[in-house]
Homo-oligomer: A and B are copies of this chain.
Amino acid sequence: MKKVLSLAIAAALVAPAAVMADATLFGKAHFIIENVDDGDTDVWGVDSIHSRVGVKGSEDLGGGLKAVYHFEFKVNQDSGSGLGDRNQFMGLAGGFGTALLGRHDTPMKIAQGKFDEFGDLPNGDLANVIPGDDRVDNVIAYVSPAMGGLTFVGALVSGERPDLELDGPADHISLAGLYSNGPIFASLAYNSYDLGQPVDAEPSLLRLTGIWNGGMWQVGVMWASMDLDLDGVDDPDYLGLSGHVKVGSGKIKAQYLMGDSTNGGVSGLVPGFTPNVNVGFPVSDPENDVTQFSVGYEHSMSKRTKAHVGFTSYEEDETEVESDAFFAGLIHSF
């Protein structure tokens, strides 16, 4: 019982120079200089692009089973916010695959593979046009082992909003099948969202991704279609093309995205309604065609450090919103 007491106090009060188990500190620094011209203003800026830091680790539990954990935080260099949230979860991994609990990217987001050549960039990211790149709280997720190149990923998301009559363990669902074989990657992903009361709609999203990577070249295509489950509103479709070609120790990359509407929040469609899950839905007007075109060059200074430059042009058809963005940045992963 002496041990109980000394442990209680030691844990609470004294900091012993214990061994760090296998906790791993990891992260990514990504900063850019950018110039964004939206017709009205022409603004220079410096930004942290989803810079992040985290702690992760695993423990072998024997019998092929291991415990895994992962706490990741966003580093905002702009005014006043300390750390933001990224994937934060724990789980068990074994021959059966991996099961986990916490905050996580949806299977649909994972299923994009390496399609997005301009990921994370505020001007350039896939998510500006095509919905489905979501990270959600309160997830129960499962990743199967790879079976003949095929992997299945599924996530159940509890809404935790009894006031909206969202009280189940699977108010929202995201499912994905991924196939990888030699130069080919393909995926099919499906999301179903229960918006709860008073909307009483269950929109769904289907997204297909195909990528061919022959070493020197990569080309990718993504197609997505949303069933809004709302009367009198046309269902939007989305198309994306991306690719790169290696040049020396760098690559030239390009990406074209188009869709029947802005990827915004459901609040635009259902006035006064804030959805209980952070998902992308068309804003206001599904007739508002959107296009985003990006070109860039990425130079590998090492396996962990890259420099890049690029240009993105974004345009909305009906609202006449448009912007041209130049950016140059540095990325270092640790």
**A interface, CB within 8 angstroms of B:** 1-2, 4-6, 8-9, 12-27, 29-33, 40-48, 51, 53, 55-59, 61-62, 65, 67-71, 73-85, 87-93, 98, 100-105, 109-110, 113-114, 137-141, 143, 146, 149, 151, 153, 158, 160, 162, 167-169, 178, 180-185, 211, 213, 278, 301-302, 304-305, 329-330, 332, 334
Contact = CB atoms under 8 A, between A and B. Distances in A.
Contact of A12 (B71, B87, B140, B213): B87
B2 A146 contact: yes
A182 to B, nearest CB: 6
A24 B167 CA distance: 40
Given A1-B184, A82-B82, A146-B5, A77 B137 contact: yes
Contacts of A185: 1, 4-5
13 contacts: A1-B180, A13-B98, A13-B100, A43-B158, A46-B140, A59-B305, A59-B332, A67-B305, A78-B103, A80-B84, A82-B83, A83-B83, A92-B330
B33 A23 contact: no
Given A181-B1, A185-B4, A32 B305 contact: no
B93 A14 contact: yes
* Copies of this protein chain in the complex: 3
A102 B330 CA distance: 11
Contacts of A65: 301
A306 to B, nearest CB: 9
Please give me the 4 A-B residue pairs with the lowest Cβ-Cβ distance, nearest first: A5-B180, A15-B56, A41-B162, A29-B69
A11 to B, nearest CB: 9
Contacts of A180: 1-2, 4-6
Nearest to A305: B67
The secondary-structure label for the interface of chain A is: strand
B27 A23 contact: yes
B14 A98 contact: yes
Contacts of A14: 58, 68, 93, 98, 143
A48 B102 contact: yes
A76 B88 CA distance: 9
A42 B167 contact: yes
Contacts of A103: 77-78
A76 B302 CA distance: 35
B182 A1 contact: yes
A29 B90 contact: yes
